[in-house]
Chain A
Amino acid sequence: MFANRGLYGFAKCLTLLVLGSLALTPAMAREKYEVAWSIYVGWMPWPYAEESGILKKWADKYDIEIELVQMDYVASIEAYVAGQVDACVMTNMECLNMPAASGIDSTALIIGDYSNGNDAILVRDNIDAKSIKGREISLVELTVSHYLLNRYLEKQGMSERDVRILNTSDSDIGPIFLADKSQKVVVTWNPIVMQIEQHPGISKLFTSADIPGEIIDMMVVNTKTLSENPALGKALTGAWYEVMQVMSQRGAAANKALAQMAGRAECSPIEFKNQLKTTAMFYTPKAAIDYAGGEEIKRNMDYVRDFCFQQGLLGEDAPSADVVGIRFPDGSVRGDKGNVKFRFDTTYLKMAAAGKL
C-alpha cells in the first residue's frame, strides 16, 4: 500500500515537473548561439579562443552569447545539418556534400587554412605508382582521404577501379596499419599520419601538399542565421583573428597559446607545432580574402565537386555535379544558379582586414 502511494506520488511529481518546465521557458536576455567544433590542428584556435576569454570578449562586444560544443567530426556536421547548432567547422568537401547537398544554405565565414601535408598516402616496401595497382588500401571512405587517393590515381592515369578499398574507422586505422605488416597502403590524416610515419620502413607516397589549396578548413555558418544576425559573424571573425595574431607572433605568449591548443588536441606542443607546419594557415584576413577571391579556388572546387558527384555524394540521383550551386566572392556561381547552397563570403573577412570589427 505504502509503496504504491510512493509510486503514485512519484508519478505526480514527474508530471508536475514536466508541465512546469514547459511553462517556464525562460525569456532569454541575449541571443545565444551554439557552435560545434572537432579536434583538428586547424580548428584548435576555437577552443583556445573560448578558454582564453577572447571569444567571450567579442561576444560581449556584440551583445550575444556564443557557446562552443565539442563533438566527433561527422556527428558535429550532422548536428549542424539538423539545425541543432548554428555553425560548425568543416572542410569544403563536407560542406558541399553534407549541408549544401541537403539544402541547408551555408556560408564559409572564415577560411582558416588548407591542408598542406596533413593528409597523406603512406606505404610500406616503397610501393609506387606501378606496384600500387590491385592493392588493398585502407582509408575512411568518402572522406578527404578518399579524395586524396582519387587525385593521386588520376594523376597517375589510373582510377579507383585499379585498387581495392577497405573502409576502416579513423579510430583504429593507425594502430592496425602499424601492427598488421600485410597491409601495404593506408590513407589518413593528422595526427595519425605523424604517428605512422615515425616508424621505420614506412614512407609517404603522396600528400595534400601535392594538391595545395584543394582541402580547405573553414568555419561554416547557416546563411539564414548569419544574414539575420550579423553580430554572430562579426564576433566569430573578430575572435578568430585575435587568436591568429597571438599565434603568428613569436615568444612566450604564442608558445603558451600553442601549448594550450596542443593540450586540447591531446598531443605534445612539439607534435602540435609539427602539424602546424603541414597546415597552411591564413593568419591574416587579407590572405584568406586573396585565396577566396582568386581563380585557383574555383578550379579546386571543381575537382572537389566532380569527386563528390562521381561518388554519389550530391545525392545518388543527382544528374550532374551542377546540382548544387557554389557562389564565390566575386558573385560568380559554379553549378545551379537557382540552387546556391554554398557561399564563399568575404564580407566579414573584409571588415576584419579594415579593422572595422
Chain B
Amino acid sequence: MFNMYWKPSPLQSALLSSALFLICIGAYLFVSHQRHQENPSDKIMPTVSKIADGVQRTAFETDRKGEYRLWIDTWASFKRFGISLGLMGFAILLGLYMGLFPVVEALFYRFMLFFDKVPALALLPILFIVFGLGEVSKVSLIVLGVFPTIALDTYLRAKAVPGEQLIKARTLGASNLGITFRVVLPQIMPDVLNTIRLNFKAMVLFLIAGESLAASVGLGYRIFVVRRYIAMDIIIPYVLWMSLLAFTADLLVRLWIKKGYAWHRAH
C-alpha cells in the first residue's frame, strides 16, 4: 500500500480522509468524558449535549438583552470581513499597475515591500486612536494586514506575464488600458483569487484581534467575553461556525475559479 503507484478505491479514500477527523473527535469525547467523571460541572471540555445546549442558547434563544447572539455576531463580523474583502479590489489594482507602469512601481513598490513586513497588530493602539473604536479601525486593521500581501502578489504575477504578449498586443493596437485589463488582468486573475483565498485565514485572525480589543458585537468579541466565565460550550460552536464560514468562502472562490476560468486548470 505504501508506494507511489497505489490507487485507493473510493471507499478506501473516504476511510483514510475521515480517519484523522474521527480520531480527533474520539479523543475529545474520551477526555471530556473522563473530566466529567471527575468533575460533573467541568466547563473546559463540555460534553456534546452541553455544546448542543450552547448552540441552542446562542442561535435559537434570546439572551438577557433580547438578542439572538450567534446571528447578530455573524452579521457584524460578516460586514467587517466583506468590506475589507471589497477593499482588496484596490490591492489588486495597485499590484497590477505596479507591475505594468514603471512610475507606479517606482512610487509604491519599495514602500509596499516594507509595509508588508510591518506587524499590523502591534500598531493597533495607534489605529484605535486615529480611527476611533468604531468599525473603521477594525476594517483598517484587516486591510493593513493583508493589503500589501495581495498587492505584491498581484505585482509579481503581472510582472511574470511574458513581454512578447504585451508587444504583440500593442502592435495589434491595444491601448495602455486595453493591455492592463484585457490582456494581463484576465490571465493573472485566477492566481490572484487563489492568493486572496489563502489569505482568508489571516483576515479572520485580524478580524478576531480587532474585535477582541474593542467591540460590542461580533464573533471574535463574543469568544473573548464569554471566556471570562470559561463558557467553552459557546466558544467551541463559535470556533466551528467560524471555520465553516471561512471554509465556505474558500469553496466559493474555488468554484468561481473553476467556472469562470476553466482554462486555468490546464496550467
Contact = CB atoms under 8 A, between A and B. Distances in A.
Given A310-B64, A316-B57, A102 B214 contact: no
A172 interface: yes
A102 B216 contact: no
Contacts of A101: 41, 43, 229-230
Given A82-B44, A172-B125, A182-B132, A166 B231 contact: no
A74 B228 contact: yes
B197 to A, nearest CB: 30
B41 A143 contact: no
Nearest to A169: B213
A316 B225 CA distance: 13
A195 interface: no
B142 to A, nearest CB: 17
Interface string A86-104: 0000000000011001111
Interface in A118-155: 138, 141-143
A228 interface: no
A197 interface: no
Interface string A309-321: 0111111110000
A235 B42 CA distance: 29
Contact of B228 (A143, A164, A172): A143
B216 A165 contact: yes
A175 B129 contact: yes
Interface in B51-104: 53, 57, 63-64
A81 to B, nearest CB: 6
Interface string B228-250: 11110010000000000000000
Contacts of B133: 138, 166, 168, 176, 180, 183
Nearest to A168: B214
B187 interface: no
A216 B54 CA distance: 31
A97 B229 CA distance: 6
B170 interface: no
A313 B228 contact: yes
B228 A176 contact: no
B201 interface: no
A175 B125 contact: yes
B228 A166 contact: no
B138 to A, nearest CB: 13
A312 B44 CA distance: 17
- With a 10 A CB-CB cut-off, give which of A104, A167, A179 has the most chain B CB atoms: A167
Given A169-B212, A172-B213, A179 B129 contact: yes
Contacts of B115: none
Interface in B20-56: 39-44, 53
Contacts of A104: 39
A311 B225 CA distance: 11
Nearest to B36: A103
B227 interface: yes
Given A168-B133, A172-B125, A312-B64, A97 B214 contact: no
Interface in B150-185: none
Given A97-B229, A175-B129, A312-B64, A166 B216 contact: yes
Given A102-B44, A166-B214, A314-B229, 7 more contacts: A138-B214, A141-B228, A166-B215, A167-B216, A167-B225, A172-B128, A316-B63
18 contacts: A103-B40, A103-B43, A142-B225, A167-B221, A167-B225, A168-B213, A169-B214, A172-B125, A172-B128, A176-B129, A176-B133, A176-B214, A180-B128, A310-B64, A311-B64, A315-B43, A316-B63, A316-B234
Interface of B: 39-44, 53, 57, 63-64, 124-125, 128-129, 132-133, 212-216, 221, 224-225, 227-231, 234
Interface of A: 74, 78, 81-82, 97-98, 101-104, 138, 141-143, 164-169, 171-172, 175-176, 179-180, 182-183, 310-317
